[in-house]
Chains A and B, each alone.
Chain A
Amino acid sequence: MIGDQPSTLLDKIWNNHLVHADPGAPDLLYVDLHLLHEVTSAQAFDGLKVAGRTVRRPDLCVATVDHNIPTTDRSLPVLDSIAHRQMEVLRENAQSHGIRLFDVDDERQGIVHVIGPELGLTRPGMVIVCGDSHTSTHGAFGALSFGIGTSEVEHVLATQCIPQRRPKAMEIRLKGDRPMGISAKDLILAIIGEIGVSGAAGHVIEYTGPVIGSLSMEERMTICNMSIEAGARAGMISPDPTTFEYLRNREFGPNSDEFADLKMEWRSLKTDDRATFDRRVVMDISDLEPQVTWGTNPGMVTGISGRVPNPEEIEDEEVRDSTERALTYMGLGPGTPMESISVDRVFVGSCTNGRLEDLREVARILDGKRVHSGVHAMVVPGSTAVRRQAELEGLDRVFRDAGFEWREAGCSMCIGMNPDTLSTGERCASTTNRNFEGRQGRGGRTHLVSPATAAATALTGRFTDPRST
């Protein structure tokens, strides 16, 4: 409650961070944690310098290198001189402003949205920003966390605040039991398929319902991560005992003295019973199948037993045009069964599905089997810590024995800024978040799937229901 008013989780965090409000102007929000990486920060630091400004709170900034670093041998030099320069600039900026950097040789390095939670930097009730749209990931902890542009990065560096219009609150309630073998990735792909890629524009999504409460933190992160693919700037899940357990004994997490007090505070971070959302969507997931995208945005998705749609059967002209265009790009005919489509590549990784549970799931399916002869498969762990732990558990052996490449941590083929890319016409089953044209390499054809579906597909060489393997 805020005063006597029942309020949403979004309202509570918003009001907790409101530094200043002027009628007609955006609210000024305080930022608790500012995450930085090499690709979207250089121009912001440069802007500060030009304006003669400094970083207000370097102690609330954390930087790492993830987007364009190679995932091959870390002892070798970076061959891409422009990428190398970008990393150097981040080092210089972190050094001169006193910002903590988890560099390429640091065991805490990794994709910014994987290491934040892993290190205990991410906490319930925070406002977190980063120059990356998948910052929505951290909402899994009941934080308000969103991606910003480089000018806004500069703004936050200079002021530790961000001017924002209060977004609308949207509830997505999942009802029904989660069918066996259905992953968090399948849930979020189905949600985006249902509401569309701009379905939550202007809103912050709060995911609710018993299914959400039953998910692990890693699964919740997968769901919040892809909120942006439905047009929402942020997604959030109210913190609960699962959240609190995850936060214990993390390097930068609260110490045991602070924990009890903070937990009291965190328990209040939930939408009040009588609070109203601006919009509400209820989805029954009882009959959900593993999901596979067929097109060039994440909303172009179907169940594994489904087929590629036929544009002629679509009435809306704009949807028909975009479907036709997508099928041409993807090299798929109308009505093709998804399970008959063969792939050249399989990619497991990214801030969506590059965490330990994802890797365990892939290893469970691969165990003792071999990748199909026509498939080139790789696993890129989301962080160096994930990589180390996977090795301790022997997962790397399972991957290698199955014929997967086992790489160093980074964004890798999710964005294809480093040497890991698709060639023209190559088709990839990918555990990432975007199947846009050219996302993984010019002319590359990306199908978004869960880690389990990626693993099952790697074994057969065509899209395969992981429940059948």
Chain B
Amino acid sequence: MHTGVVAPLDQADIDTDQIIPKQFLKSVSREGYGDFLFHDWRTEESGAINPAFILNREPYKGASILLAGRNFGCGSSREHAAWALKDFGFRVILAPSFADIFRENADQNGLAALSLEESVVRELLARAHNEAPLRLTVDLEQCIVADSGTLITSFEIDDFRKMCLLEGLDRIGLTLRQAEAISSFEQQRWPNRPKVAPESF
């Protein structure tokens, strides 16, 4: 269960180049990307803060729920987008739909990317602008979004994703439980793979 301030970004097709521009992908760490989230929207050309951008304004600076248009996170596979959103303080992204790779990256980092009905998103976007700050509660266990105890909408999520998000499962560990199946698969497989090991190894 998470309760927090909602930041509305009413745009469709927000791509990962906007979420974290390429000049910030040169780090070899998973941390410290929050400062560069939506960099070209948050800053002026000069580098100064753009006071008009929503995440630079009170009460949205401390928002932990992002509300956006459809197909959020399209484009590049950079996981830095999920890292940046999480590092900034977001815990939940609500949108009518998400790009496939982004949603997977969000899942991997415990960032809940949840799809709501488009009409509900539009209503919430309007409310988030008009009654700032809109605070919502997202209950992943019950699959509902509520406002001060009043149910707004429910959402669907498959049980496996839900379990991973709630329990922060070690996905690699899960796969390694199938080590035997992997080994036997490797022995049976057809020889349709290139031989690329370095000669020196």
Q: Which residues of chain B are within 8 angstroms of A125 by Cβ–Cβ distance?
A: 192
**Neighbour of B181 across the interface among A19, A120, A163, A253, CB < 8 A:** A19
Q: Which residues of chain A are within 8 angstroms of B40 by Cβ–Cβ distance?
A: 437-438, 442
Residues 57-95 of B, flagged 1 when their CB comes within 8 A of A and 0 if not, give 000000000000111001111110010000000000000
B198-A436 in contact (CB<8A): no
**Bound: A121/B194 CA distance, A:** 6
A438-B18 in contact (CB<8A): yes
The A contact surface, by secondary structure, is: loop
**Neighbour of B172 across the interface among A148, A158, A265, CB < 8 A:** A158
Cβ of B131 within 8 Å of any chain A Cβ, yes or no, is no
Residues 440-463 of A, flagged 1 when their CB comes within 8 A of B and 0 if not, give 001100000000000000000000
**Neighbour of B194 across the interface among A123, A202, A318, A322, CB < 8 A:** A123
**Bound: A233/B76 CA distance, A:** 11
Residues 28-48 of B, flagged 1 when their CB comes within 8 A of A and 0 if not, give 111000000000100001000
A39-B25 in contact (CB<8A): yes
**Bound: A265/B192 CA distance, A:** 9
Given A59-B197, A150-B79, decide whether A198 and B109 contact each other with a Cβ distance below 8 A.
no
Q: Which residues of chain A are within 8 angstroms of B178 by Cβ–Cβ distance?
A: 19-20, 28, 161
Q: Which residues of chain B are within 8 angstroms of A126 by Cβ–Cβ distance?
A: 192-193
**Bound: A125/B18 CA distance, A:** 35
A198-B185 in contact (CB<8A): no
**Bound: A131/B76 CA distance, A:** 9
Given A24-B158, A86-B26, A148-B77, decide whether A437 and B18 contact each other with a Cβ distance below 8 A.
yes
The B contact surface, by secondary structure, is: loop
B22-A415 in contact (CB<8A): yes
B12-A318 in contact (CB<8A): yes
Q: How far is the CB of B96 from chain A (nearest CB, A)?
A: 10
Q: Which residues of chain A are within 8 angstroms of B116 by Cβ–Cβ distance?
A: none
A151-B79 in contact (CB<8A): yes
**Neighbour of A151 across the interface among B15, B17, B70, B171, CB < 8 A:** B171
B185-A30 in contact (CB<8A): yes
Cβ of A297 within 8 Å of any chain B Cβ, yes or no, is yes
B190-A155 in contact (CB<8A): no
Q: How far is the CB of A26 from chain B (nearest CB, A)?
A: 7
Cβ of A366 within 8 Å of any chain B Cβ, yes or no, is no
A60-B45 in contact (CB<8A): no
Q: How far is the CB of A343 from chain B (nearest CB, A)?
A: 21
Q: Top 5 nearest A-B pairs by Cβ distance?
A: A151-B108, A98-B201, A42-B28, A59-B197, A149-B79
Identify the A interface with B (CB < 8 A): 19-20, 24-26, 28, 30, 32-33, 39-40, 42-43, 46, 51, 53, 56, 58-62, 67-68, 80, 82-83, 85-86, 89, 98-101, 120-121, 123-126, 131-133, 147-152, 154-155, 158-161, 163, 167, 197-198, 201-202, 228, 231, 233, 252-253, 258, 262, 265, 297, 318, 321-322, 325, 415-417, 424, 434, 436-439, 442-443
Q: List 26 A-B contacts (CB under 8 A).
A: A19-B181, A19-B185, A20-B178, A26-B160, A30-B182, A32-B192, A39-B78, A40-B77, A46-B28, A82-B27, A98-B198, A100-B198, A101-B198, A132-B77, A155-B171, A159-B175, A197-B13, A198-B71, A265-B190, A265-B192, A318-B69, A322-B12, A424-B45, A436-B18, A438-B40, A442-B40
